[in-house]
Structure 1
Amino acid sequence: MTGWDSLARELACWHDAGKVATVWWRDDDAVAPTDALERLLTLSRKHTAGLGLAVIPERCETALAGTLSAAVRQNQAEIAVLQHGIAHENTAPAGEKKTELSRAAPLNDTMERLKSGQSRLAGLFGQGFLPVLVPPWNRITPEIIAELPACGLTGLSTYKAREQPMAAPGLLQVNTHADLLRWKPERGFLGETEALGLLQTHLQDRREGRADADEPTGILTHHLVHDEATWTFLDRLLGWLKRQPAIKFLAPSEAFSHSALTNQNEKQSAAGKGPM
């Protein structure tokens, strides 16, 4: 049995249970118009797949705004800009895993730079900017998380299944769960079986109650460093997912809709289950 077969069987379980499996797509590290970015946007347009593009505020070129504006006019699917940290610079002490949003810098300084980055992205991309923070390397300290709503951020996205929907009051967390790249020992495509397995595992965990059933399953890509195998697989994956009746491919604004979460909690409460 192939990875595609296993994923199809999992989606059949969702379909038989009368459930719809939500999926979303995030791509990290955008800073400028490039051939790789154009290829990414072409796939979004080809498959009518919404895309959350995590842009680095302090490294972002103004030309990117024009590129995305043109892409939005050509694309029926939503392309939303998310805030990818500050400058994507490691501040962790030597010997610790790379982290930009760490305890190393004074908290006030970090929050001011986050606010400044948010203002820059909002100014460049207007309504195309969602106030969602994507921490570089998917790492962030709890002290910073607690302060994010105060600086206008309403969403947080890291990696692996979330522990709870709200990372802090007013801060909805929606993560990614299937990174298509292998980073060590050499960077390259993770592999078809492994990538499909990550998707299948999170979907099964949602369905069987080991993970939050309401968290959309997230695909994670990094267009600037894709090899040809990654591009080929991503093209096939997006097309395959869009053809599945048990899949609803969410736009980023849908994935980070607080009203949708509120409505879900109200339905659960009315059914006597209480919020998850």
Structure 2
Amino acid sequence: MTGGWDALAAELDAWSAAGQTAEVWWRDDDAGIPCPALDRLLALAAETATPLSLAVIPAKAEAALAATLDRHPAETAVLQHGAAHHNCAPPGAKKCELVDPVLLPALPEELHRCRVGLEQLFGKRFRPVMVPPWNRIAAGLRATLPSLGFEGLSTYKAREAVEPLPGLRQTNCHVDILQWRPQRRFLGTDAALALLTGHLAAKRAGVADAAEPSGILSHHQVHDEAAWDFLTALFRRLARHPAVRLLPAERVFAMSAAVAGRAVP
């Protein structure tokens, strides 16, 4: 094993020695249509018995995707990845689809329409959780999510609060396995493992939110072979370690009271 794998194993062993459970979840973004990469992703999830949370772009979702998920034994939930994954940010600003409703007054209603469509397409597999494209959402739009029927929110890096709004549970990802600039490629084994091991260590030490599961973020459509090799090795190791609990979306975004079905304001 590399030093990174050794460090992860040592950290997980420390969780075992402390009688604690390291909760981990897996989110994959930008799904829409079936493709060989999606089949490979689902096969890996099934092989390692890892629940998968698939962030689906509503504008690209097809009935064929629902049929593909139904054919696979993987435990897969569908989350909502914005509306169309279009950049709506003003010139010069960072990319963002989920901008303030002041800029796009019709956006809240569009998100609600997309949520209803995904629920109809995927049924019980769908969870009313918003995953913002580029992991960005304006505060003004975030404030509308519970009234639009969303129970959860997921972006990137440590959350600021378990419930940023009443009825809205936030659980983020902490390990993006891709490097996006200057070129898109696998981040690297040691770098990715350092993010995961560091988050687990911070939770165990009480300097990070111990109740937030450590989130692995992937993008199946753009993985190179190194990314696939890493995910395979990672989830095989996590699945067999006694200190690890791999969580489905239902557990990651569990709420004390449901908010689905509230009317659009």
TM-score (normalizing by structure 1):
0.90
Find runs of 4+ consecutive structure 1 residues off by over 2 angstroms. Answer: 103-108
Change beyond 3 A, Cα 1:104–1:185: farther
Q: Which residue of 2 is the match for residue 220 of structure 1?
A: 217
Contact 2:32 2:61 in 1 (8 A): yes
Q: What is the CA deviation profile of residues 77-120 of structure 1, one whole-angstrom value per residue up to 9, with x for unaligned ones?
A: x2000000010000111211110001276454111010011011
1:115 is aligned to 2:112: yes
Q: Which residue of 1 is the match for residue 143 of structure 2?
A: 146
Distance 2:104 2:86 in 1: 16
Give the 3-state SS of the residue equivalent to 2:137 in structure 1.
coil
Q: Select which of 147, 169, 173 maps to 1:176.
A: 173
Distance 1:113 1:201 in 2: 38
Amino acid at match of 2:18: A
Contact 2:101 2:108 in 1 (8 A): no
Contact 1:107 1:144 in 2 (8 A): no
Amino acid at match of 1:24: W
1:200 is aligned to 2:201: no
Amino acid at match of 1:33: P
Distance 1:79 1:7 in 2: 26
Q: Which residue of 2 is the match for residue 272 of structure 1?
A: none
1:166 is aligned to 2:168: no
Distance 1:94 1:69 in 2: 41
Amino acid at match of 1:94: P
Distance 1:113 1:7 in 2: 42
Q: What is the CA deviation profile of residues 233-253 of structure 1, one whole-angstrom value per residue up to 9, with x for unaligned ones?
A: 111101011111111111111
Q: Which sits farther off after the overlay, 90-99 or 183-192? A: 90-99
- Report the RMSD for the aligned CA atoms in angstroms: 1.4
Give the 3-state SS of the residue equivalent to 2:91 in structure 1.
coil
Listed as ranges, the matches of 1:258-269 within 5 Å are 258-259=255-256
Q: Which residue of 2 is the match for residue 32 of structure 1?
A: 33
Give the 3-state SS of the residue equivalent to 1:118 in structure 2.
helix
Distance 1:16 1:46 in 2: 28
Kindly state the Cα deviation for residue 33 of structure 1 after the two structures are TM-superposed.
Answer: 0.5
Amino acid at match of 2:192: A
Contact 1:91 1:104 in 2 (8 A): no
The structure where helix makes up a greater share of residues is 1
Listed as ranges, the matches of 1:1-276 within 5 Å are 2-71=3-72, 74-75=73-74, 78-103=75-100, 106=103, 108-259=105-256
Structure 2: which 5+ runs fail to align? 258-265
Q: Which residue of 2 is the match for residue 263 of structure 1?
A: none
Amino acid at match of 1:42: A
Contact 1:156 1:167 in 2 (8 A): no
Q: Which residue of 2 is the match for residue 274 of structure 1?
A: none
